[in-house]
Amino acid sequence: MIDLYSWATPNGHKIHIMLEECRLPYAVHGVDIRAGDQFKPEFLAISPNNRIPAIVDHDGPGGKPISIFESGAILIYLAGKTGRFLGKSDRDKFKALEWLMWQMGGFGPMLGQAHHFMNYAPEKIEYAINRYGNEAKRLYGVLDKQLDGRKYVIGSQYTIADMAIWPWARSHGNHRIDLAEFPNVAQWFERVGTRPAVKRAVEVLAAERAAQGNQHTPQSWNNLFGAEQLKKR
């Protein structure tokens, strides 16, 4: 059993997708980042950087529990645990890791900044909006070029790179990105979104957002997303 400590954000959504793709049994524990749950000692013991997501795999290496934080590290760990979604050859594996790092270092952080300054900053700072908005468009252009002639990010294989990038692309409207300008991204986005496991993860995310809107407590999240409800179908 894997305990997933998360909240309804793109980084959290990555791990839902991977767990659903691998059909691993898991239970979700809500970490209300609005209420400061990420600073509680019990969560910091799992995620020292006070960021979601984090997991505890009770059947870790050697059959002993292990905790992992940082979404990219969790994806790599789960790929290693299951032997899936990290490419079939060494060359494929390094390509998948390359694009995972691209998402972790650029696509996620820059889109996050664009989202903040465009939608949440109490003061509309034109310089910041333009800076991060332009960088968001540049990064979508990089992705569009990579996807030219490819079914998935590294080629014909669906990997953790796709799982990492796709949840951030879901918020393209919040970043003032029109996917019509990036046709390869648009086709890939639809292709990934039709995968049954991704659909299941989106359903869980929608339920998470509903729980957040209803101010559910972490305990009520356990009731809503307990292990029994999330056993793989």
Q: Quick one: tokens of 213?
A: 């809107």
Cis link prior to 61 (omega < 30° from 0)? no
Instruction: Report the half-sphere exposure of 174 (CA within 13 A, side-chain side).
Output: 16
Continuous segment of H or E residues that includes residue 81: helix 71-82
Predicted confidence at residue 207, as pLDDT, reads: 75
What's domain 90-193's architecture? Up-down Bundle (1.20)
Predicted confidence at residue 228, as pLDDT, reads: 35
Beta bridge partners of 69: 54
Predicted confidence at residue 173, as pLDDT, reads: 86
Q: 0.85 exceeded by the pTM?
A: yes
Q: What is the dihedral of CA 90, 92, 95, 101, to 10 degrees?
A: -80
pLDDT by residue (tens digit) across 63-122?
A: 999 999 999 999 999 999 999 999 999 999 999 999 999 999 999 999 999 999 999 999
* 3-class SS shares of the chain: helix, strand, coil, % to 5: 60, 10, 30
Domain boundaries, the chain: 2-84+196-230, 90-193
Fold classification of 2-84+196-230 is Glutaredoxin (3.40.30)
Nearest to 13 by CA among 108, 98, 96: 108
pLDDT at 1 over 80: yes
Inter-axis angle of helices 160-169 and 108-115, to 10 degrees? 10
Residue 174 pLDDT grade (very low, low, confident, very high; cuts 50, 70, 90): confident
Q: What size, in residues, is the chain? A: 233
